């Protein structure tokens, strides 16, 4: 079973591996049921979905009916205005078949202009706060992709007391001194304030190159089980961070198995050998490839 630790100051003990429900976006209902069985097998009790993840919210809805109270439920809005975010939240609640979500996250908030809109007057944050006051949302978070995510999350925490952040973390990303410094500063700030830190892209290999067969995520993930295990353990070495599973459900068991058996993190030397052997590259490079 996967370890559970406090999800920031929310009062919920979440499994350190959080199910990234983007994996359900185009999945048939019968296959989705098999994914649920896997989550229950490993004790995953936290689901992270989003309005933009295709049919994900619709696939999660039956699980919530069948297992009431079993999952901490998070969704996201990519809208930047109050009206758009409110409309999107109401649609998500309908699709999920629930009266409220545990966590509503402002999705991929890293562009400075979008950041000003979302956190300014008439922005999405106002919609989230109003929804919390109405009991439609319990907690509010912010997510981000790219090399500016940690830096922008630090700014966001100065503007508002978010309950959680989400951003990329893997060995390749942390080889950038700028990103590593921002990431470590963010983790420390979150520790001080009781903010949950969620990480994504732990098992990313690189961006797709040529025709590499079926694609179940926008990036190419690792396939070798031992490399996956080491990549997962490398992220979980930071004791109070969470790891969101990949949008490629074909490697879900390997990720959950690795998370359930975490003991000692691999050294940087071991990770460098994996990077060389498996052709691991950073998904995001500042000034080159910061977008999804």
pLDDT digits (tens, 9 = 90+) for 63-111: 999 999 999 999 999 999 999 999 999 999 999 999 999 999 999 999 9
Question: What is the reported pLDDT for 216?
Answer: 84
Cβ neighbours of 212 (radius 10 Å) = 9
Please name which of 83, 77, 140, 134 lies closest in space to residue 109, comparing C-alpha atoms.
Answer: 77
| Residue 209 banded pLDDT, cuts 50, 70, 90 | confident
Question: What is the reported pLDDT for 290?
Answer: 87
Question: What is the reported pLDDT for 196?
Answer: 98
Q: How far is CA 251 from CA 28, 160, 165, 173, 203, in A?
A: 17, 36, 24, 21, 10
Full set of structural domains in the chain with CATH? 4-278 (3.20.20.100)
Q: Is pLDDT of 213 > 70? A: no
The reported pTM is 0.96
| Residue 212 banded pLDDT, cuts 50, 70, 90 | low
CA distance 133 to 130: 5
Mean pLDDT in the chain? 96
CA distance 160 to 107: 15
């Amino acid at each position: 079973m996967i370890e559970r630790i406090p999800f920031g100051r929310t009062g919920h003990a979440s499994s350190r591996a959080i199910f990234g429900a983007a994996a359900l976006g185009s999945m048939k209902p019968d296959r989705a049921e098999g994914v649920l069985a896997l989550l229950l097998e490993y004790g995953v009790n936290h689901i992270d979905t989003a309005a933009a993840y295709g049919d994900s919210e619709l696939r999660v809805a039956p699980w919530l009916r069948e297992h009431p109270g079993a999952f901490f439920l998070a969704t996201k809005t990519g809208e930047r205005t109050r009206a758009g975010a409110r409309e999107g939240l109401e649609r998500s609640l309908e699709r999920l078949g629930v009266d409220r979500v545990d966590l509503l996250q402002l999705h991929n908030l890293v562009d400075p202009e979008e950041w000003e809109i979302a956190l300014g007057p008439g922005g999405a944050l106002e919609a989230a706060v109003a929804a919390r006051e109405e009991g439609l949302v319990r907690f509010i978070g912010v997510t981000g992709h790219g090399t500016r995510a940690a830096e922008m999350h630090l700014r966001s925490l100065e503007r508002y007391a978010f309950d959680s952040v989400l951003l990329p973390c893997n060995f390749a990303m942390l080889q950038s001194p700028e990103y590593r410094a921002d990431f470590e500063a963010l983790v420390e700030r979150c520790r001080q304030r009781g903010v949950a830190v969620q990480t994504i892209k732990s098992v990313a290999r690189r961006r797709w190159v040529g025709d590499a067969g079926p694609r179940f995520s926008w990036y190419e993930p690792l396939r070798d089980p031992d490399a996956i295990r080491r990549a997962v353990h490398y992220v979980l070495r930071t004791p109070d961070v969470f790891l969101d599973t990949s949008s490629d459900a074909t490697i879900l068991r390997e990720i959950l198995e690795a998370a359930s058996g975490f003991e000692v993190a691999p050294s940087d030397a071991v990770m460098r050998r994996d990077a060389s052997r498996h052709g691991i590259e950073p998904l995001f490079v500042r000034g080159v490839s910061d977008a999804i």
